[in-house]
Structure 1
Amino acid sequence: MALSEAPALIPYWFHSLESDSKHKETPNIRIEFSKNDSENLERAYQRLIKYDNGNGIEKPPETIDVMEDLLFEVNIPKRTLSPIYWKGKSYEVVRGTWFYATDMFKFLACDEELSRQIEEGYQQAQPWLMEPPKNNEKAKSTTIDFEDKRNYRLTGPYVGQCITYSGPNSAWLLSTNIASQLARAVMTKITNNENIGGTRLIRGYAEVEKWKKRNEEELQNKNNKNKSRSKSKKYSESEKENIKNITSSLEDVPLTKEPQKSNTEYSINNYKVTDNNEKDHRYEKIEHLVFVVHGIGEKFCENNSSSTIEQSVNDIRKTAKEVAELYFAKDKNQHQKGVPLPSFPTTSESAYKHIYVPKGTGVQFIPVNWRRQMNIDRYTVKRKRRLSNASVNLKKSLSNLEKKLEEEKSAEKKNNSIENEDKSEDKSNDNLKTNPSSKESLKVPSVNDSDDDDDEDDEIDELNFPRMEDILLESIPIVRKVVTDLALDVLFYMTPRHYQQMITILSNEFNRLYKLFKKHHPDFNGKVSLFGHSLGSQLCFDILCHQIPEVLNTEKVDIVNYNRLSPYGGEANYKFKQLDFPVENFFGVGSPVGLFTILSDRCIRFFDWKNPTKEGLTSNDVLVPIVKNWFNIFHPSDPVAHRIEPLVLKKSEYEKNDGETFKPNPIPYSKGGLTGTVREFQGIQKDLTLKGMRLFGNVYNVVQALIPNNDKSKSEESLTEKEFDNRDLKNININGRLDYAIQAQILDNQYLAAIPAHSSYWNDQDTIAFVLAELYRNMSFP
């Protein structure tokens, strides 16, 4: 039955999986955005259309934040998808209106130019008013009659093709050459006019979904018929085996085929595309912003396409969402603010059950890549040419001489206008011969020429200057390349010039990313934390130790100069950029901060936030990190990680009870198995012991309260506030501990575990669950 008007066309937006996808012969795989993203993109697109048509509205933004956690943005006029906070590839974006079938279950969006031409012909042909020609003689014709309204010839890059509209939401893409027309005749006859030998086109993504659902039902019915036939018919053993293999293969065929995704394109493919009416987790309030800083070997990872910082941070996000669903409270009313972490081995199920983490975590992890911006892989020295005093005087005299010549020229023109032409001509010739200030008679070396020569010398010097590859031995090149890429960053850290470059780049990146995040999230008023791995934690620590707290930075100083001891003796002056935000938490994982601190003959002290002073901030013997909470996390087998508490505590206090009191605090275990069972049993036993001691202590306090106490001085002393101690671990976080050790599995070999331990923090459930717990442990929820 014909329709009175064209069906509504609701576009859907897609993105490509390939960065160089335009003008390719083979169709490109395109993945749909989530429903929320597609609707937001379409609204922004319509607003831009209205603005371009001159409707007088304010120019809307050309970019829209999309995908999970809003880490990517779409430039609508350019139709590109790219990451916001890190450097990455750009991907093609398509506004899908018409779709072509590649098989029964996969429909891909047509290019927008092709869709535009198809829709233009659709509006002219008005196929919704006509009955589809299924059984008449016209449908069996092998030639294409362009006088028929159902046929529309394509132009531009699609010359030689045409569209035949077969219904209000369907059409066929056909070729006009003779071979295609013969193939069309055969296909039409075989399929009884169901397929006319071209590519099927569907109008609108809603129709695509209906088509896919219908095909899935047909396949399911065929599978059920095959199963019923195999049960009713008797077969031999070999035939039964063959039928079993065929039916099992049919059952394994998914009803909706997912495209094959490249493992290297992690920045796009690792995000799950959700298509439902529920509110996406990414649109919830962001409570915490965490900058994640990489350590050594980032250059090696990029060269070998392995786990770069962007991919590692993506692992952190996925792990955080997994553990948030598993171990934390699901209701805000179950949250207990300020409960410290148990000091004994336990599991995540018992340790985090009273801490509430919002759905979707409410934490945004942003990668910070400082190594990529360092121009230290190739050393070049360009000579800076300095003009001597004689050259400067010569340059000044030349400029004065040119001015004088211009004045004389103007005077000569005035005299020549009064005299006759012959005399003026003779006079001008005489002046050219006798005038000592003439440009042609003056021979002075050109300063520009000499500069050009110097530029050539600079190019020669640059080419002849040795590079890093020039000093490497030719033997075992692969091993030397690996060692160089991994160890070179540490050597750069020890060199004052490169160290200055490192801290400057990292500080600038922090400020740039913070401003960029505020631009995309103007309502953000949460807390900012740093997560540093390996050498990255050391750089974060150095920057934090040279910050001026906001309460003391009344003059709004941007850069502070500090004289610090250089690794090769003597002092070096370093400039430390001040951060645009206060740092709430600092998580150092696999951190060598303890090692570098003890090598520099310095100690670590804490900052008094209640009574802030500049004492110790400019000292060359003490390091004071300007941070509210600090956590040093490490795997027991990590060869790079070192402890920090011995650098803070008094030696007598640390050695009390042979150091038993200040062993690293164990992080709750979450991996299950035999180790999880043992840790759970140890936790229950320790918990019962503590509850018994607490009960005994309460009884003792009640008895003491009934006994009259005449010593008023002691009671008054207990009421007075304890004086701040910059070596007291209770002043660095609510747990009163600084070193936190990941609980290794009982059957692990420490030496074998040392190989992967240093790079295991990114997707380690224990580490990420601990980070989430400390971010939310001291928060209040309305």
Structure 2
Amino acid sequence: MPSPHTFGRACRLAPIPDPEPVKGLEDIPPIKAQFFYSSPIPIDDPLSASTIVGSAEAKSAKAPLRPFSPGDNLDLERAWLRFASDQARRNHRQAQRNRSPSPSLSKENAAKLAAIIAQLAAKHKEKHDREGQSPFAAVVCCPELTIDASAELRKEFCAVTRKYQQSLDHDKVVQGVMAELKRLRSTSDAPQSSSLPLGTSPIPSYLDPRPVDADGELPPLAAPRTITKPPVVDDGISGKPFVRVEGARSNNTTPETRTPVEPARGRSDSRISVRVEVNDADSVEVPVGVSRLHVVSLPVLQMKPIYWSPVNDIAVAMRATWFYRDTMFPVEPSVANQLEAGYRELRPWTETWSDEIRSALYVGALGEEKVSHRLWPEPDKRSKSREVPPEPPISSDPFCAARCFHGEAAAEGTLKPVHSEEEAATPLPESRNYASFHVIYKNASDAFLLKPSLKPSAYYGRRPVAKIMKGVTVGIPVVRGFDLATWEKVHKQPILRAGTKDTVPSQTRAIPISTCPGCQREKERGQVTDLVLIAHGIGQKFAERVESFHFTHAVNDFRRMVNAELETPAVKAILRPGQNGIMVLPVNWRHLLSLEDGGPSNDKAGADGFTLKDIEPTTIPAVRSLMSDVMFDVPFYMSRHKPKMIAALVGEANRVYRLWCRNNPGFAEKGRVHLIGHSLGSAMAIEVLSQQPTRVPRLDLSRPLPDTRFFEFDTTNLFLLGSPAGFFLLLERGGLLPRRGRMKPGADAADTVARDIVGEVGTYGCIAVDNIYNILAREDPIAYLLNGTIDPVYAVSLREAYVPTLSTSFFKSVGDSFRSMLGAEPSPPEAAMDVVTPRKPTLMQRLPSQLELEVHDFSREEVAEKKAFLLNDNGQIDWYLRSGGGPLEIQYLNMLSAHTSYWTNLDLIRFLCWEVGRKPGKEHTLPAMRAMKVGTRTFVTK
């Protein structure tokens, strides 16, 4: 039975304290806001068959809205409410009223704007000094300045404030930065004694945002903000640095002094904290989803993946406050904010409003007209610019909604950047649809949207209020606040609740849960025990132009199929005690390199410095481009670029592993890591694991950057798919060897040090793993066998091994048909029989001592068998995947798709779950997978 949550201060599901009340609205009921995301992939249902396809149809289609789980919603709401700023609210209120800010507020704004100008100037001076360029002769130093200026202004001042305060004009700020750049140049070029005196403004007075003092002088320009650089760690997206803090940003925390966030108002401690990543001065990222593979960036309201670069899988998030009663879908943010503004103006939660409703019913249609509220105000007929809508009382711009309000604002993110105030002020389509609607507030939670033909009218005798008060639905019914029970009842899809059994384990959250049994239970169930990293092969350069070819899409589908297979009886029957899920993540190493142009260091190939573009003919450009992006990865790997490619693979794998361990405390000590290499990625894995230390020391997250020499994790199992590793071993005149001193579960300690059996670190093919599996499709032209690299004679003595299958072949189906005609039972699947009848462990004889092993003359077969069992508990390395078979099979047609067919092969996925999830040691292997001699039914048991 699930442990109950206490909902106390130490519980993650504790209710959020009400925001600070607004003056005059102290008695207003709190809003139960709900966050939604728009994505074809439900992040709380990893078994869903939905996926993101890189097609034009998928990009244009609007993904369905899905609510976040209650726990994630509380995390997001806590982070959102902490964005509120008193200074931002005062600026917004004054700008909305078209009033100038007060002297004290003007001073605060001027200091903040001066700091922005100084910061941008220092940043771009350093940038251009590093590049050896001089930006001072141009009107604008570089295009990045205009983008940076817009971003900084948007962080500190909302769109309404920037619209009405002339000193915050974007062009003026850019000119101010250019003036500061010129001053910095003159200061650095001039002698120290001739530097500008303190208090002299480096910005022309007509641009300077600072108020003039009583003597007509300008105050000194604020010094550039000095941000203490934290240890450089990755952000989970292509290795960008980020700063991690516990908790969302507090109201009074400035960008240069970011610290762990204060608890919400009304709390005495900060025991409830959400692990977030801070990517810039005013942005937080909250991890969400049952598997913790995504984060929501606030206040921009975008959901993106954590462990891989986004590939058309950034989703838009929404914070909703009003909802359609019948479906509980969110009302569009701009409409919801108009509803909330009218709600606060009319105060329908009070007894006074109830009296007004009763009076209106008594008076009749004319009285009902008085309680009908126009959703959008009437346009001013005297205004010359009728098309320009008035400023809404509550803004739906994400930055403004988070900073300038007390949680009453609904907002929605966007994937399209807003570059101007005109774009931000453009009314949305839903606003135009409801522009002429009226609203009737029934009580503190219910309201009805009425189109003009339904609104109260004394002329037509329409009395919708009377019908509404009798329980009749008129117009569009909406409610204030989200009702989870109604959503689950209407949509027949229960939202994942904390304290219930998840479909797959979720990641551990960085939340103190010492006093809440429900949270403790979540933590224990949520720690994934096995992490599988997949390194791709050739062709990912091509994915930059053709998104559907991107490796990440295949891994996402592969992960879903692994999660589904873990729930099947055939897999559950052999999972070891304590096994708690498998997480599959991609290692996208190729996008980090530009080998055609000389690599990251831009060193040019050849004595004359030519590149691939210089020697590539212009004929058949499509074919040549395909060859360059796909096939050239192999010759690049066999050239001087090999170290760069190895470093890219190792660095990206370590980056993902570090991020995983940081988000999953305790995994580095208790979890296991497995590696899958496909195609060229498998040969690169062999190269790295040959240089890998026999045992990797415990991960040190205090190191600033991931290592690029060897993996910072110990590899338990290595799976090679469609691997040419055997060919590379032939070129290097090497062979597969167990690692000396690597004591894996069930291994003979004496065998691990015998010099005839094991090899040393640095020997090509002597890999530091417990088990290696070489899986190949029979028609795959890229794949090579590996049993022969251990010992060719031993390899010939083994029967061909196949990955067990639960599916019936064509001929077996025919045989079962004849059996049924004769009244006999059909034969059970091969793997099913083997799974449920594991063989008892073989009793081992007394082992000779290490000294005896050093002098004993083993036979060649004994040595080969000992090597094979140290390399794999089953006594062999190679496994074939069963093809479709049957009389219609054509091998040359299968060859075209064989090399990329591994990611959708259910037999391979089940095989992976068995070998990763079972107990370690050869006594726990499946009978169907043990090595067998040719011409016998005898298992190799050495």
Q: Same fold (TM over 0.5)?
A: yes
Code of the aligned partner of 2:315? Y
Alignment map for 1:154-553 (pairs within 5 Å): 154-155=392-393, 164-168=439-443, 169-172=445-448, 200-206=477-483, 209=486, 274=496, 278-280=500-502, 281-283=504-506, 284-328=526-570, 330=572, 353-355=573-575, 362-378=581-597, 468=612, 471-496=615-640, 498-524=641-667, 525-550=670-695
Q: Distance in 2 between matches of 1:767 and 1:185?
A: 74
Q: Deviations over 1:615-674 (max 9, x none)?
A: 843666x5211111111111111111110010111x4434xxxx2x32432111123354
Q: Distance in 2 between matches of 1:290 and 1:779?
A: 16
Alignment map for 1:562-581 (pairs within 5 Å): 577-581=709-713
Aligned-residue offset at 1:532: 0.9
Matched position secondary structure for 1:306: helix
Q: Deviations over 1:274-310 (max 9, x none)?
A: 5797332333321111111111112223422214221
Q: Distance in 2 between matches of 1:676 and 1:545?
A: 43
Q: Distance in 1 between matches of 2:781 and 2:553?
A: 23
Q: CA distance change for structure 1 residues 76 and 720 in 2, over 3 Å: closer, same or farther?
A: same
Is the Cα contact below 8 Å between 1:606 and 1:732 reproduced in 2?
A: yes
Aligned to 1:638: 780
2:598 is the alignment partner of 1:598? no
Is the Cα contact below 8 Å between 1:628 and 1:733 reproduced in 2?
A: yes
Code of the aligned partner of 2:343? Y
Q: CA distance change for structure 1 residues 318 and 27 in 2, over 3 Å: closer, same or farther?
A: closer
Equivalent of 1:119, from 335, 340, 343? 340
Equivalent of 1:584, from 712, 716, 725? 716
Aligned to 2:919: 778
Aligned to 2:760: 617
Q: CA distance change for structure 1 residues 134 and 292 in 2, over 3 Å: closer, same or farther?
A: farther
Alignment map for 1:608-687 (pairs within 5 Å): 608=740, 609-610=742-743, 616-617=759-760, 622-649=764-791, 651-654=792-795, 659=796, 661-672=797-808, 674=810, 681=827
Matched position secondary structure for 1:70: coil
Code of the aligned partner of 1:201? V
Matched position secondary structure for 1:328: helix
Aligned-residue offset at 1:327: 3.9
Q: Distance in 1 between matches of 2:681 and 2:714?
A: 18
Aligned-residue offset at 1:174: 7.2
Question: Number of aligned pairs?
Answer: 566
Q: Distance in 2 between matches of 1:190 and 1:662?
A: 85
Is the Cα contact below 8 Å between 1:374 and 1:502 reproduced in 2?
A: yes
Is the Cα contact below 8 Å between 1:71 and 1:85 reproduced in 2?
A: yes
Code of the aligned partner of 1:166? Y
Stretch of structure 1 that moved more, 578-587 or 664-673: 664-673
Is the Cα contact below 8 Å between 1:170 and 1:203 reproduced in 2?
A: yes
Is the Cα contact below 8 Å between 1:11 and 1:204 reproduced in 2?
A: yes
Matched position secondary structure for 2:691: coil
Aligned-residue offset at 1:313: 1.2
Q: Distance in 2 between matches of 1:275 and 1:184?
A: 50
Aligned-residue offset at 1:52: 2.8
Q: CA distance change for structure 1 residues 37 and 771 in 2, over 3 Å: closer, same or farther?
A: same
Q: Distance in 2 between matches of 1:184 and 1:759?
A: 72
Is the Cα contact below 8 Å between 2:738 and 2:767 reproduced in 1?
A: yes
Q: Distance in 2 between matches of 1:737 and 1:137?
A: 90
Equivalent of 2:306, from 54, 69, 84? 84
Aligned-residue offset at 1:162: 7.8
Is the Cα contact below 8 Å between 2:372 and 2:456 reproduced in 1?
A: no
Q: CA distance change for structure 1 residues 669 and 527 in 2, over 3 Å: closer, same or farther?
A: same
Structure 1 unaligned residues grouped into runs of 5+: 20-25, 217-254, 259-271, 331-352, 385-457, 559-574, 702-714
Q: Distance in 2 between matches of 1:328 and 1:109?
A: 46
Q: What's the TM-score once normalised by structure 2's chain length?
A: 0.51
Stretch of structure 1 that moved more, 370-379 or 80-89: 370-379
Structure 2 unaligned residues grouped into runs of 5+: 1-26, 41-51, 53-60, 85-247, 253-261, 277-284, 378-391, 396-424, 507-525, 744-748, 817-825, 855-862, 925-942
Q: Distance in 2 between matches of 1:119 and 1:743?
A: 62
Aligned-residue offset at 1:200: 4.9
Q: CA distance change for structure 1 residues 740 and 197 in 2, over 3 Å: closer, same or farther?
A: same
Aligned to 1:16: 38
Code of the aligned partner of 1:71? L
Q: Distance in 1 between matches of 2:769 and 2:698?
A: 15
Matched position secondary structure for 2:919: coil
Is the Cα contact below 8 Å between 1:142 and 1:185 reproduced in 2?
A: no
Code of the aligned partner of 1:732? L
Is the Cα contact below 8 Å between 2:373 and 2:438 reproduced in 1?
A: no
Please report the RMSD computed on the Cα atoms of aligned residues, expressed in angstroms.
5.1
Q: What's the TM-score once normalised by structure 1's chain length?
A: 0.61
Is the Cα contact below 8 Å between 2:690 and 2:762 reproduced in 1?
A: no
Stretch of structure 1 that moved more, 48-57 or 473-482: 48-57
Alignment map for 1:741-752 (pairs within 5 Å): 741-747=880-886, 748-752=889-893
Identity of aligned residues (%): 24
Q: CA distance change for structure 1 residues 362 and 29 in 2, over 3 Å: closer, same or farther?
A: closer
Aligned to 2:174: none
Q: CA distance change for structure 1 residues 607 and 116 in 2, over 3 Å: closer, same or farther?
A: same
Q: Distance in 1 between matches of 2:683 and 2:457?
A: 69
User: Which protein has the larger Cα radius of gyration, Structure 1 or Structure 2?
Assistant: 1
Aligned to 2:245: none
Code of the aligned partner of 1:542? E
Equivalent of 1:94, from 312, 318, 323? 318
Is the Cα contact below 8 Å between 1:286 and 1:362 reproduced in 2?
A: yes
Aligned-residue offset at 1:752: 2.0
Q: CA distance change for structure 1 residues 188 and 623 in 2, over 3 Å: closer, same or farther?
A: farther
Is the Cα contact below 8 Å between 1:319 and 1:764 reproduced in 2?
A: no
Is the Cα contact below 8 Å between 1:48 and 1:60 reproduced in 2?
A: no
Q: Distance in 1 between matches of 2:39 and 2:917?
A: 36
Q: CA distance change for structure 1 residues 187 and 628 in 2, over 3 Å: closer, same or farther?
A: farther
Q: CA distance change for structure 1 residues 285 and 277 in 2, over 3 Å: closer, same or farther?
A: closer
Q: Distance in 1 between matches of 2:650 and 2:712?
A: 9
